[in-house]
Amino acid sequence: MGPEQQPHEIVIVGGGAGGLELATRLGDKLGKKKRANITLIDASPSHIWKPLLYEVAAGSLDSYAERLEYLAQGHWHGFTFRLGRMEGLDRQRQEVSVAPTFDEEGREIIPRRTFRYDTLIIAVGSVGNDFGVPGVKEHCIMLDTPEQAREFHRRHINACLRANTQTEPVAPGQLTVGIVGAGATGVELAAELHDTTRELSSYGMENIEPEKSLKLLIVEASDRILPGLPPRLSVAAAERLAELGVEMHVRERIVEVRHDGMLTADGKFIPASMMVWSAGIKAPDFLRDIDGLETNRINQLVVRPTLQTTRDDAIFAFGDCAACPMPNGGFVPPRAQAAHQQASMLVKSICRRLRGRPLPEYRYRDYGSLVALGRFSTVGNLMGTLTGGSIMIEGVMARLVYWSLHKMHEVALHGWFKTSLTTYAHFISTPTRARIKLH
């Protein structure tokens, strides 16, 4: 770079697992050495690993203690953070427009802004897809953000407090949580809610008995729970949920949600006092055909194996918001492991792009799937690198592997030393903390 040449402007939109890992590694590699300016844009001031949101909703995880502040991470790792929600794109001017930010009283605190880029990387993740089903927006909570997870937790705790202090017995259906969608989020939430409600009962809420008062049910349109995972994993998870007393309705498609329950396509009405919608995902609506870029029916940006968008080489997309083809047909599944792999490749890709060299192509590697079923139970499969098949794992081993996935994310953000220290601090402070948040 010559003395009068402007630094290459790299703008990353979206601070989820993949976006934040990419910003951190590019900041360390390029930003600190002044080889490029790295800017991360996100609508939230802090980050929490999205696979943990079901624990926030169940009350077993303090989202405020687990969050990471983008400003501090940028200061430590050589990138700049800008707060705001992307709302538009001008490819000709190479600018991203960001909507104004308002406080709780509706006062503008940050005006509408634009950011110029030489390379733009979009990693805005996904949101719940209600498929246009009437009543979902009014009566269901989705678990896309920490705020939504905390809102569900507040409602659940308030319902439990109300039931515990009332003079009459808990009425049938008074504490019924209906979860639409039996993917990983729905299944994990059901199991975790069973455990945390038992914890509430042990704290002295005598009227709250998980086996009698609380009813948990899952509704799934497919013929089994966890339809995107291997059948034997679904069977193991279903057996565990049955042991916990979770009611499972498969081959039932919800066509309407009401304030007191859900109506299926077969005319069955399933009563519920609180409902969570986790039946599908889509990319955020603002991406749909944004400035002429190619998108699919769920708003994902269609990309080539280099993760460049099909109509603009200067714009990359990855993670849940991108539709990346696989060699044998189909598209890369929207999983955290895919976003992590793509972020790692993009570090190399951006460095090669700055040097004018050809870019690598992404190949998805499936390392298996894990589903947590409460505090002491996890089931999953690991892809065998030697046999080429998959190995079913359960119990303590599966739980350790599941726990290690979060730690690998922390290592990508903080390094081994800091992650080791914070992990040790967490373990020694565990005896002094209540396992479930009551606020």
CA angle 370, 128, 375 (to 5 degrees): 35
| pLDDT interval class at 157 (50, 70, 90) | confident
Q: Structure tokens of 85?
A: 């929600």
Which strand (E) or helix (H) includes residue 328? none
Residue 81 has pLDDT above 90, yes or no: yes
Query: Between these two residues, 437 and 236, which has the higher pLDDT value?
Result: 236
Tokens 């590694």 — which residue? 25
Each domain of the chain, given as residue ranges in start order, spans 8-126+283-354, 136-280, 368-432
| pLDDT tens-digit readout, 239-286 | 999 998 899 999 999 999 999 999 999 999 999 999 999 999 999 999
pLDDT computed for residue 402 by the predictor:
67
The hierarchical CATH code for the domain 8-126+283-354 is: 3.50.50.60
Q: How many CA atoms lie within 13 A of 351 on its CB side?
A: 16
Average pLDDT taken over every residue of the chain: 88
User: No. of H helices and E strands in the chain?
Assistant: 10, 28
pLDDT computed for residue 300 by the predictor:
97
Alpha-carbon distance of 137 to 388, in angstroms, equals 43
Tell the burial category of 50 from Cβ atoms under 10 Å away from its Cβ (0-12, 13-18, 19+): buried
pLDDT computed for residue 398 by the predictor:
67
Contact yes or no for 135/145 (Cβ under 8 A): no
Give strand pairing partners of 330: none
Q: What is the mean pLDDT of residues 80-85?
A: 97
Write phi, then psi, for 167 (nearest 5 degrees). -80, -30
pLDDT computed for residue 371 by the predictor:
80
Query: Between these two residues, 371 and 348, which has the higher pLDDT value?
Result: 348
Domain range 136-280, CATH architecture: 3-Layer(bba) Sandwich (3.50)
pLDDT computed for residue 394 by the predictor:
65
Name the 3-class secondary structure at 281: strand
| pLDDT tens-digit readout, 171-193 | 777 889 999 999 999 999 998 88
Alpha-carbon distance of 317 to 307, in angstroms, equals 6
Query: Cβ of 92: how many Cβ atoms within 10 Å?
Result: 7
pLDDT computed for residue 386 by the predictor:
39
Question: Mind giving me the DSSP string for 86-115?
Answer: EEEEETTTTEEEE--EE-TTS-EEE--EEE
Name the 3-class secondary structure at 6: coil
Query: Between these two residues, 404 and 346, which has the higher pLDDT value?
Result: 346
Residue 107 has pLDDT above 90, yes or no: yes
Q: Above pLDDT 70, what percent of the chain?
A: 88
8-126+283-354 and 136-280 share one CATH topology?
yes
